[in-house]
Chains A and B, each alone.
Chain A
Amino acid sequence: MTADIEIRNVSKQFGAMSVLEDLSLSIKAREFIVFLGPSGCGKSTLLRMIAGLETVDSGEIAINDQRIDHLPPGKRGIAMVFQSYALYPHMTVRDNMAFGLENIGVSRQIIDARINEASRILEMPHLLERKPGQLSGGQRQRVAIGRAIVKEPKAFLFDEPLSNLDAALRTRTRIELAQLHQRLQSTMIFVTHDQVEAMTLADRIVVMNNRKIEQIGSPMEIYDRPATKFVAGFVGAPAMNFVDATLDRSGGNAKVKFADGIAVQTEIASNLLADGNYSFGIRSEDVRIVPAGQGDADGVVDVLERLGERTLIYARLGDGLQIVGSDVGNSRVAVGHKVGLAFDGKKSHLFSEAGRAWHAGEA
């Protein structure tokens, strides 16, 4: 069982504070959607509104073309995994999973069959008679997912379910969630502020900021063609380099000039751009480290971050601006060295003052 979810012009206020403004979104059946955004952007509120844990002030939410925003949470056919797992502490794992089914009068045989199936998928048959207090964080997480699976919901909602796990377990659970999605073929909505989780899990990412949706797109669309400066800065680690620049639109492709005279040739068509102030954006992996004097600009190395497969170089330009570039893993560059920075015009971005984005190669 799976579901299309349609969110139309939804708004939400807590007292005088507006949390979501006129937000619309359609989620296709079997899609894995991730709501990504910083704390307080409204992503959890939106998820809780779909779940029925928050009321909808205006607008509507429909699952499979049926409005559900007036229905109580249990009648919406969805299951939710909470950040804190929200297991019932006095019930065994089995009872935790059975509770929702017992409440709607499912027969004992079906309940047992579903619990056995879910615990087999999640590899936890040996945990069924334990209580949540006797489980580790990762095991509780499994139980919480199991409790959702046995309900055979039309859609799964996950509210930052990985944030209480340690790094290794988080990576493993992430992969298991992806496998679970392939296996169950259900609609899944996943809320996170972690861009790695978003990039790795999502069919489509919904980037949210400040009560609104900034961009909806596949992970690589979001990464390569961020719709706004916010998205460009929020997705990707380290954050994209931004430099205030003026435009030279005399050629077919725009050339940007930084304050201290450095010029970079982009591959963004001049005729798409109007006059005005722009921010030039480029990711660290598109800034190559070359010998001093051979790149677009020279800088002095402030900090090195060795990530193993590559080295991040934080170089300071003449006017004090810091640019993050990328070198090979065994880079010989050291702090204090003077290096050249070569910007890849094919991967450059421009952002207007209003935050709108232009990307290299756009017609």
Chain B
Amino acid sequence: MADQLAMPHTATPAASVRTPSADIYAPQWRNIIFVAPFLFFFTTLLLFPLLWGIWLSFHKADTFSSGNFVGLGNYVRLYNDKVFLQSIWNTFYFVLLTVPTLALIGLFLALCLNRRTRTAAVLRTLFFSSSVLSVTIVTLIWRIVFIPNVGLLSTIYGWFGATAPAFISNPSLAMIGIAIATIWWCIGLPMMLFLSALQQIPRDIYEAAALDNANRWQTLRSITLPSIKRTFILVIIIQIVLQFQLFGQAWLMTRGGPNNLTKPIVLYIYDTAFRRWDLGMGAAASEILFILILVAAMAQYLVARNKGDRA
């Protein structure tokens, strides 16, 4: 009996090489089967279009021909196109309006709703529910709110004998109107991310802080905020990537007007490539947007990599 038990340990090296468990981390070609489905869709739906887009941006192309190589010609034309420069500025302005607001309101809501009451649960659901609506519904709702004279906003202002701000037609307010609709639409995700981060903070740290005489403000500043710092940065990055791609709200609420003041890059790309059929220039604009978003995504990567200095 004892001899039998000892057998596996005294097996010769030659015998142990043949056992399948010799090195479970050794590369096996059949492992490719498990990655192949993803690899296929990644290549056909992501990698190939990306490379094709880059190729297109260096060519003069329309729907009938993908013609001559023009080098940086499309990029030069973009650089000289005031509408494109305006759309970049518009996009940055929109990101600046929405991202910090989304992060701060999301954090505020999460702090308020991070408790185990029924009311908090109902409100969490309510605030998140707008996120599941399609952009069409969202813009429809906010057009009804903003519509002059008969809209919700006008009605409310009317009660006080005031005139509501013209969020859609006033050039200096139009982007703010789109931003308000977007914040209302997108607030669910930041709130949920903050809530899950808040729930990760161990309860006993708060108890220690209570014993350390920390008041609510000191607790928020010294315990809560440092504990969710990384989530805060994550929310900012996710929202930057998302809001750079503004399209639906601008298209459905203002069509980019008045006077191109609410035309974002994606709408410019759409106009150029699919309404003026200048595919090469549209592709070039897409690459610039791609680089802008890539920079933001790289920032996320760097933040994630720096987490080593945290406990």
A binding-site residues for B, Cβ under 8 Å: 51-53, 72-75, 78-80, 82, 84, 86-91, 99-100, 103-104, 131-134, 147, 151
B23 interface residue (CB < 8 Å to A): no
Given A80-B211, A99-B209, A100-B212, list of 19 further CB < 8 A pairs?
Answer: A52-B210, A53-B207, A53-B211, A74-B210, A74-B214, A87-B205, A88-B205, A88-B208, A88-B222, A89-B205, A89-B227, A100-B211, A100-B213, A103-B218, A133-B310, A133-B311, A134-B311, A147-B208, A151-B212
Q: Are A72 and B204 in contact (CB under 8 A)?
A: no
Q: Are B208 and A74 in contact (CB under 8 A)?
A: no
B223 interface residue (CB < 8 Å to A): yes
Bound together, the chains give a CA A91 to CA B222 distance in angstroms of 9
Q: Are B211 and A78 in contact (CB under 8 A)?
A: yes
| 8 cross-chain pairs, A with B, having the tightest CB-CB distances, nearest first | A133-B311, A74-B213, A100-B212, A89-B311, A86-B204, A90-B226, A86-B208, A103-B213
Known contacts A88-B223, A90-B227; decide if A103 and B214 are in contact (CB<8 Å).
yes
> Which B residues lie within 8 Å of A75 (CB)?
213
B215 interface residue (CB < 8 Å to A): yes
Q: Which chain A residue lies CB-closest to B219?
A: A103
B202 interface residue (CB < 8 Å to A): yes
Known contacts A90-B227, A99-B222, A131-B311; decide if A84 and B204 are in contact (CB<8 Å).
yes
> Which B residues lie within 8 Å of A82 (CB)?
204, 207-208
Task: Out of B204, B214, B215, name the residue touching A99 (CB < 8 Å).
Answer: B214
B291-311 CB mask vs A (1 if < 8 Å, else 0) is 000000000000000000011
Q: Chain A CB within 10 Å — which of B204, B211, B218, B229 has the most? A: B211
A44 to chain B, nearest CB (A): 12
* Interface contact tally, CB-CB below 8 A: 72
Bound together, the chains give a CA A88 to CA B209 distance in angstroms of 9
Bound together, the chains give a CA A251 to CA B144 distance in angstroms of 101
Ordered by A's residue number, 29 sampled pairs between the chains whose C-beta atoms are within 8 Å are A52-B210, A52-B211, A73-B207, A74-B212, A74-B213, A75-B213, A80-B207, A80-B208, A84-B202, A86-B204, A86-B207, A87-B208, A88-B208, A88-B226, A89-B205, A89-B227, A90-B226, A99-B214, A100-B212, A100-B213, A100-B214, A103-B213, A103-B214, A103-B215, A103-B218, A104-B213, A131-B311, A132-B311, A147-B208
B119 to chain A, nearest CB (A): 19
Q: Which chain A residue lies CB-closest to B204?
A: A86
A73 to chain B, nearest CB (A): 4
Q: Are A90 and B310 in contact (CB under 8 A)?
A: yes
Bound together, the chains give a CA A51 to CA B207 distance in angstroms of 10
Known contacts A103-B218, A133-B311; decide if A86 and B205 are in contact (CB<8 Å).
yes
Bound together, the chains give a CA A151 to CA B211 distance in angstroms of 10
> Which A residues lie within 8 Å of B204 (CB)?
82, 84, 86
B17 to chain A, nearest CB (A): 38
> Which B residues lie within 8 Å of A99 (CB)?
209, 212, 214, 222
> Which A residues lie within 8 Å of B223 (CB)?
88
> Which B residues lie within 8 Å of A86 (CB)?
202, 204-205, 207-208
